[in-house]
């Protein structure tokens, strides 16, 4: 089976976020959350995301099925959840977003991952800090 090149997916996410900033502005945050909910619905319908997934199952889906990073570490400290995305495959997207200081509104690393985690744990996560490490 042929895989989609991460450069194409990076360009897609970059273009979507840049367009949202140019057209909608900060209202894009609501759009980002809603888009991730709709993505979650589709993934549930396709039986990729299931109820009661453990952290290891979420990691396996994110890393091995979606191919979004080399590793994912999840820290749940009761009052906060920290996702450590190790060597993301969409580094071009993240580098350009950081360089141009474009807010992330549609992002598999923030919105989709937190939506999947929230769904499985019964949480309603709110973003506190997004600290990309190792991005140029």
pLDDT, tens digit (0-9, with 9 covering 90-100), for 89-117: 998 999 999 899 988 888 877 778 888 88
| Residue 57 lies inside a defined structural domain of this protein | yes
pLDDT, tens digit (0-9, with 9 covering 90-100), for 46-74: 999 999 999 999 999 999 999 999 999 99
**What is the spatial distance between Cα 120 and Cα 101, in angstroms, rounded to a whole number?**
32
**What is the spatial distance between Cα 14 and Cα 49, in angstroms, rounded to a whole number?**
25
| Residue 131 lies inside a defined structural domain of this protein | no
Q: How many domains does the chain have?
A: 1
| Residue 56 lies inside a defined structural domain of this protein | yes
| Residue 130 lies inside a defined structural domain of this protein | no
- Closest by Cα among 23, 39, 11 to 114: 39
| Residue 23 lies inside a defined structural domain of this protein | yes
Number of Cβ within a 10 Å radius of residue 28: 22
For 74, how many CA atoms within 13 A lie in the half-sphere containing its CB? 20
- Closest by Cα among 43, 31, 30 to 117: 43
Range of the domain at 62: 6-121
**pTM of the predicted model, to two decimals?**
0.83
């Amino acid at each position: 089976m042929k895989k989609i090149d991460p450069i194409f997916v990076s360009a897609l996410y970059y273009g979507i976020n840049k367009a949202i900033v140019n057209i909608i502005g900060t209202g894009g945050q609501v759009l980002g959350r809603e888009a991730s909910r709709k993505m979650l619905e589709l993934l549930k319908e396709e039986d990729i995301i299931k109820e009661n997934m453990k952290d290891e199952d979420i990691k396996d889906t994110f890393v091995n099925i979606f191919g979004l990073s080399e590793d994912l570490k999840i820290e749940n400290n009761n009052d906060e959840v920290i996702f450590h995305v190790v060597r993301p495959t969409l580094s071009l997207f993240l580098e350009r977003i950081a360089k141009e200081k474009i807010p992330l509104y549609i992002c598999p690393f923030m919105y989709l991952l937190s939506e999947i985690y929230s769904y499985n744990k019964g949480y309603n996560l709110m973003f506190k800090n997004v600290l990309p490490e190792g991005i140029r």
